[in-house]
Amino acid sequence: MPKDTANKHPCHISEIGKLNRVSGQVEGIKKMIEEHRYCPDILTQLRAARSALKSVEASILECHLQSCVADAMVSGSKAEKDKKIAELKDLFKRFDDT
């Protein structure tokens, strides 16, 4: 989880390869639709793409927690810590899949 020293955010460049694969999956799904492939086959591929995106999401969230949030908790002011906690609460509300 190296940090980009220019803006002090973690580097997520390792996720690009995974996102390229997801992009390929989406292109494949579009082709399946154009070819009028069997619905359950399309749905299976959609689920696989969704799962891959969730994996990238989880990796970036983990990095955020281990880097940005941990840094704020160790060296930040009370206001900065409160801001990070509020940010996390908002993230979890927005990304709740229920």
**In Å, what is the CA distance from 3 to each residue of 12, 25, 71?**
9, 29, 12
pLDDT band at 96 (very low <50, low <70, confident <90, very high): confident
Indicate if the pLDDT at residue 5 is higher than 50. no
Give residue 2's pLDDT: 56
pTM above 0.85, yes or no: no
Contacts of 32 (CB under 8 A, 6+ apart): 41, 42, 45
| Domains of the chain by start residue, with CATH | 12-94 (1.20.58.1000)
Confidence of residue 97 (pLDDT cuts 50, 70, 90): low
Q: Which tens digits make up the pLDDT trace of 58-83? A: 999 999 999 989 888 898 888 998 99
Give first-to-last CA distance, the chain, whole Å: 30
